[in-house]
Amino acid sequence: MQTVGYFLHSEKNSKNVKKKYQNLLNEYCSIHGHTVVNTFVDNNMTRLSIYSEFEKLRDDIKSNQNRYLVIINNSSDLGRSIEEITDNLIWFEDNKCKVLCIDDENPDPYQDTVNRYIYSNNDQWSSFVSNKMKQKFANGKWMGRLPYGYILDENGCLIVCPNESLVVKEIFDLYVNQNLGIRKITAILNQKKYKTKKNNSWNISTVYDLIKNPVYIGTSKRFGVSIPNSHSFIIENTVYTAAQQKLFMRSPVRTNINPENYLLSGILHCGFCDSRMIGVTKNIKYINNNNLSKSRYRYYRCSKKQNSGNCNSNSVEAETFEKKFILKFDKEMSSPKVNIGKKFPKILKKIELKRKQSLTNAQRLFKDALINTSKGKIGVDVLKLYLKQYQEIKNSTEYKINIKNVLGKNHLKLNFINKVRVHGSDFKIYYERAS
């Protein structure tokens, strides 16, 4: 295979550096039966230039549509941050090139990135955790809320609860083998009158969290540390892995609902039970004059009714309600009823907090996706979506907020609202108080 090398060095005496890496690449290709095409070498200064060897390599690949095997020393050759490294790895993938680290024991650049920039920087035993708690956890004693399917023995360790474990197995069987969705599984559990640990009805979130929980393969997770085989398993590893892959396939990018799609998500509340209303999309297929037609229906629905059915509220059609809401909202915002100047300092703090939380969440999702890519659980195409989302949110948080740009954008202007309560076709807007 046609092979090129790209290496970044920090050596002060760079006179014979390129020759050193040429010899290194020649030796690697001789062992693995590859054909050496070229060697590109940068130092920490030239790497930042548009005339760098790295840019020459990229231009060669793009201009000539070359499909190289690119050998690097390690993932740090490709960038100064985890985002830059991942972005460059994806660029090579998009241009049909394969990147490998020269170390045969750790050749995968995604795994190397994770080991180098995520695992090595994690303080797995946080300072606020006492030595007593660490020792208790390390000895296999359960800490935290007791998971469904298990009970504690006299030593405080998890043991399998026979009746509940059968329900856990049924849930995984329905999800993995019978290919049922979480909503359908929830309905079946409630039809059979199964109860949760707290003797409540099942809901979608409870089932979803159960399927994700590694406790069922015998792994305890606490303080950022995972201890495999710490107790008896209920679900086989192969079944659990299949379930996680299915979760990723069905929800490749789990983010907050796009405010352009559901403008009032997070502030709309049910007038009957005061639960939040969530945006729901249904794609409906029907026959019209012997032709298959499709329509998309968007609406807001009480989350309590959505999850457990225990509410008398009706759904609200999204587009019509949003238009009706905006007319009333804009009218009230322009009236003396809402003192914008007095409320703005509190609104600014609220927006900045949301931006910080959004960025932190996007970064965490991106890092989780990179870890799962390195483990082969998801593909690079999904990782690309997570990285793009993180970069977009990062860019959007860099501009300064002032009263003019807040009032010019609906999703920012909505921060003046505490909540909106919907009761039938009527609704009332509750505004944030001034700080």
Q: What is the extent of the structural domain holding 159? A: 131-250
Residues 181 and 206 reside in one and the same domain: yes
Residue 125 lies in a domain: no
Q: 330 with 412, same domain?
A: yes
Q: Which residues contact 48 (CB under 8 A, 6 or more apart)?
A: none
- What CATH number does the domain containing 68 carry? 3.40.50.1390
Quote the pTM value.
0.64
CA distances to 29, 146, 213, 356, 412 from 151, in Å: 56, 7, 16, 39, 47
| 259 domain residue, yes or no | no
| One domain, residues 73 and 220 | no
The pLDDT value given to residue 125: 37
281 shares its domain with 246:
no
Any idea of the CA torsion for 141, 237, 115, 102, to the nearest 10 degrees?
150
Show the tokens assigned to 210: 């159960």
Distance between CA atoms of 4 and 21, rounded to whole angstroms? 11
- Distance, in Å, from the CA atom of 242 to the CA atom of 175, rounded to the nearest integer, reads 9
Would you say residue 237 lies in a domain? Answer: yes
Q: Is 261 inside any structural domain? A: no
> Does residue 62 belong to any structural domain of this protein?
yes
Same domain, 142 and 103: no
For residues 135 and 54, membership in a common domain is answered with no
Structure tokens at 177: 């083998």
Cβ contacts of 135 within 8 Å, gap of 6 or more: none
Total structural domains within the chain: 3
Domain boundary at 120, 144, 163, which?
120
Q: What is the pLDDT of residue 109?
A: 94
Q: Are 246 and 159 found together in one domain?
A: yes
pLDDT of 246 reads 84
DSSP string, 213-279: -GGGGT-EEETTEEETTSS--SS-HHHHHHHHHHHHHH-SS--PPPTTT-TTTTTEEETTT-PBEEE
Residue 260, pLDDT score: 47
> Of the residues 86, 120, 154, which one is the last residue of a structural domain?
120
Spatial CA neighbour of 175 closest among 142, 199, 211: 211
Domain final residue pick, 120, 139, 159 = 120
The H or E element spanning position 211 is helix 204-212
pLDDT at residue 305 in the model:
84
pLDDT at residue 435, as a whole number: 67
Here the tokens at position 274 are 């005061």
In whole angstroms, give the CA distance from residue 241 to residue 244: 5
Q: Which of 76, 92, 90, 3 is nearest to 42 (CA)?
A: 76
CA distance 103 to 303: 51
377 and 285 share one domain = yes
Q: Going residue by residue through the chain (435 aa), what tens digit of pLDDT does each one get? A: 899 999 998 876 666 888 999 999 999 999 999 999 999 999 877 777 778 999 999 999 999 888 999 999 999 999 989 999 999 999 999 999 999 999 888 899 999 999 888 876 544 434 444 455 556 555 667 877 899 999 998 888 899 999 999 999 999 999 999 999 999 999 999 999 999 998 999 998 899 999 999 999 988 876 556 677 888 999 998 899 889 888 876 654 443 434 447 889 889 999 999 999 998 888 887 777 777 778 888 899 998 887 777 788 888 999 999 999 999 999 999 888 888 888 898 999 998 998 898 899 999 989 988 998 888 877 888 899 999 999 998 888 877 888 888 888 888 889 999 999 998 879 999 999 886
Helices (H) and strands (E) in the chain, counts: 15, 14
Query: Do 110 and 144 share a domain, yes or no?
Result: no
Residue carrying structure tokens 């090595």? 120
H helical segments located in 95-129: 109-117
Looking up residue 179, the CATH number of its domain turns out to be 3.90.1750.20
What is the helix (H) or strand (E) element at residue 287, kind and residue range?
strand 277-288
Residues 331 and 388 in one domain: yes
Same domain, 227 and 321: no
Q: Are 90 and 387 in contact (CB under 8 A)?
A: yes
Candidates 237, 169, 241, 247; CA nearest to 209 is 247
Q: Is residue 256 part of a domain?
A: no
The pLDDT value recorded for residue 256 is 41
Domain-located, residue 425: yes
**71 DSSP β-pair partners:** 5, 100
Does residue 293 sit in the same domain as residue 422?
yes
Position 260 in a domain: no
